[in-house]
Amino acid sequence: MEFQDMKEKFLTLLNNQSLIAATISQPRLKSNDLRRVRLKPIELKGIYTIQLEYQYERILKHENIPVDLFAAKLEQLLEQFRQIHAQFTDQTLHIQLSKKNKVLWKSEQTKENKKINLAHNRQKQYLLEETTIHPFLVRLGVQAENGAIKKQKYDKFKQINRFVEFIDDALDYLPKDRTIRILDFGSGKSYLTFALYHYLKIVKNLDIHVTGLDLKKEVIEECNQIAQDLGYTDLQFLVGDIQDFNDETAVDMVVTLHACDIATDMALARAVKWGAKVILSVPCCQHELNRQLLSPALEIMTQHGLIRERFAALATDSIRAQLLSLVGYEAQLLEFIDMENTPKNILIRAYYTGKKPSADDRAKYDDFIQFLSAKPFLQNELQGLL
């Protein structure tokens, strides 16, 4: 088969709208930092389109091209690469090119025609769009300067967007007539703190003041410098501990991410006492209950260290959510990010509604605590409010 015939035949297959996925690979030049290009069909505004994912060593880029305009792009790609592997609904195709563009064409019919779901293949729409350059993401190394999400930071990009979704959901519970005070305990490198500020201040144009708190002085200094560079005048970072922070008497939103063991409970208790309307907490290292478990009925589980640890973690977060509901919050336990990225993926989301708990709600809590022989730190901290 001649080179020109191969291109026309491949384009005909694409125009038949039977493509499932394809990979163009084997760069002709070793100096080419573009390693491969993946193709998949999507539907954009009712138009059948080929989405290209350019895979460089460290970053990914995307481009969408209507299929009837794809010929020029294919010509360009075949100048750079020597191999195409494609899956269509009725066949698997392998094309190999020599240095002089001699064509090896191998096609294998599939036993059953595969189906294409163009709607399923649509690119996920994030609140912080991939196609938009976000200065804070560039400054934090998640985006390249041209806006492309760096390959090794894509999970972080998804995590940030998931967090922004929670922030967006909470907007109705925040005040509209004054400055919104927000505290982030254990802010660390502050990816999510900067995302929170960017979304509420830059995107939503709300009047906010955000404070990030962490124990690591060098991290705080770096975060303050980044905030200054970005012009985030209502964002500050302080060195401090959750237990010793007394600069506020009232706060509207409290965020705590991966505060270890009872540090999470300290943050939750402070949030409640400050009258926070919104609490977002991702706990970590729940050891307190693990040490207290004395229920004989659970020994078939708790005799195994791994199971005991996991059960204690789930029970601890359930206790926290129930305690928050007993002091007037609507509390939920939600998946924060995919379990494949980290097992620490439960988020406690609580909105203050002022709803009074029923006697049955309190009885269920008391029965559970008695069954576990537990003495939760958070219960003690909230004693005067329960």
CA–CA distance, 9 with 17 (Å, rounded to integer): 13
CA–CA distance, 135 with 188 (Å, rounded to integer): 19
pLDDT at res. 339: 38
pLDDT at res. 336: 81
pLDDT at res. 181: 96
- Which of 42-46, 64-68, 79-83, 136-140 has the least mean pLDDT? 42-46
Q: How far is CA 128 from the centre of its chain?
A: 11
Burial class for 294, CB neighbours closer than 10 Å (0-12, 13-18, 19+): exposed
Q: How many residues does the chain have?
A: 386
pLDDT at 22 over 60: yes
Per-residue pLDDT tens for 350-382?
999 999 999 999 999 999 999 999 999 999 999
CA–CA distance, 335 with 46 (Å, rounded to integer): 33
pLDDT at 3 over 80: yes
Say how many C-beta atoms besides its own lie within 10 A of residue 233's C-beta: 10
Measure CA of the first residue to CA of the last residue in the chain; give whole Å.
Answer: 80
pLDDT-derived band at 186 (thresholds 50, 70, 90) equals: confident
Please check whether residue 367 is in contact with residue 354, taking contact to mean a CB–CB distance below 8 angstroms.
Answer: no
Cβ partners under 8 Å of residue 165, min gap 6? 127
CA–CA distance, 79 with 92 (Å, rounded to integer): 23
Alpha carbons within 13 angstroms on the beta-carbon side of residue 93 total 24
pLDDT-derived band at 32 (thresholds 50, 70, 90) equals: confident
- Biggest CA–CA distance in the chain, Å, is 84
CA–CA distance, 230 with 324 (Å, rounded to integer): 36
Burial class for 166, CB neighbours closer than 10 Å (0-12, 13-18, 19+): middle
pLDDT at res. 241: 78
Tokens (6 digits) for 19: 């493509």
Please check whether residue 298 is in contact with residue 307, taking contact to mean a CB–CB distance below 8 angstroms.
Answer: no
Domains identified in the chain and CATH numbers:
3-109 (no CATH), 135-385 (3.40.50.150)
Nearest 5°: the CA angle 374, 375, 379 is: 125
Torsion sign across C-alpha atoms 363, 365, 366, 367: positive
Say how many C-beta atoms besides its own lie within 10 A of residue 339's C-beta: 11
pLDDT at 58 over 70: no
Which residues lie across from 239 on neighbouring strands?
214
**What are the C-alpha distances in Å from 106 to residues 24, 39, 90, 94, 115?**
15, 19, 14, 5, 22
Per-residue pLDDT tens for 308-339?
999 999 999 999 999 999 999 999 998 886 43
Say how many C-beta atoms besides its own lie within 10 A of residue 269's C-beta: 23
Average pLDDT score over residue span 193-220:
93
CA–CA distance, 354 with 232 (Å, rounded to integer): 33
- Which of 48-62, 90-104, 267-281 has the least mean pLDDT? 48-62
CA–CA distance, 176 with 375 (Å, rounded to integer): 39
- Find tokens 């560079």 and name the residue: 229
**Nearest alpha-carbon partner for 206 in 233, 178, 226, 236:** 178
- Find tokens 């965020």 and name the residue: 255
Please check whether residue 104 is in contact with residue 96, taking contact to mean a CB–CB distance below 8 angstroms.
Answer: yes
Pick 343 or 72 by higher pLDDT.
72
pLDDT at res. 338: 47
SS3 60: strand
Mean per-residue pLDDT of the chain: 89
pLDDT at 167 over 90: yes
